[in-house]
């Protein structure tokens, strides 16, 4: 992805409130869209590693830890809202969502799967 497209992508991530939420994992570190663009502009070794692991920013793998970290960051920024379910409990607070995801419960896995699909969509543009 060239720098012009990356800047357009970052602009879209800013509008969506996703620019500072981790979206990929590189060698144990979580990078946000803003950090990805910074590394691309610097054309540094991290940018080359990103290109190696995520050609065209295609999501290949999304570790559970990355997905949970996204939930935590959203929570810290006040962006993780309660969700309503058909089962019990009928409402999951942000804190409960993170707890369910960390424990790997069925509802937690559904939350993580939804987060994974969101990342795929955000990276596809």
pLDDT score, position 115: 93
Nearest to 115 by CA among 78, 54, 73, 68: 68
Domain boundaries, given as residue ranges, for the chain: 3-124
DSSP classification of residue 87 = S
Task: Give the pLDDT of residue 103.
Answer: 97
Look at residue 62 in the predicted model and tell me its pLDDT: 84
The residue behind tokens 């940018």 is: 47
Please report which confidence band the pLDDT of residue 117 belongs to, taking 50, 70 and 90 as the band edges.
very high
Residue whose structure tokens are 């992805």:
1
Longest alpha-carbon distance in the chain: 49
pLDDT of the residue at 122: 86
Segment 102-119 shows an average pLDDT of 94
Buried b / exposed e over 42-56, threshold 16 CB at 10 Å, is eeeebbeebeeebee
Which tens digits make up the pLDDT trace of 15-51?
999 999 999 999 889 999 999 999 999 999 999 999 9
CA pair distance 41, 120, nearest whole angstrom: 23
Q: H-helix or E-strand containing 8?
A: helix 3-15
Asked whether the predicted pLDDT for residue 125 surpasses 90, the reply is no
| pLDDT tens, position by position, 74-109 | 999 999 999 998 877 789 999 999 999 999 999 999
Structure token digits, residue 82: 């309660």
Query: Residue 76, exposed/middle/buried by CB under 10 A (0-12, 13-18, 19+)?
Result: exposed
């Amino acid at each position: 992805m060239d720098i012009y497209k990356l800047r357009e992508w970052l602009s879209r991530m800013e509008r969506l409130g996703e620019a500072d939420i981790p979206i990929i994992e590189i060698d144990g570190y979580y990078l946000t869209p803003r950090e990805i663009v910074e590394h691309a502009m610097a054309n540094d070794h991290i940018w080359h590693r990103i290109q190696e692991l995520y050609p065209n920013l295609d999501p290949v793998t999304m570790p559970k830890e990355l997905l949970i970290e996204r939930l935590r960051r959203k929570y810290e920024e006040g962006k993780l809202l309660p969700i309503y379910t058909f089962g019990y409990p009928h409402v999951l607070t942000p804190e409960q969502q993170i707890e369910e995801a960390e424990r790997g419960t069925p509802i937690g896995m559904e939350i993580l799967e939804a987060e994974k699909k969101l990342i795929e969509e955000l990276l596809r543009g």
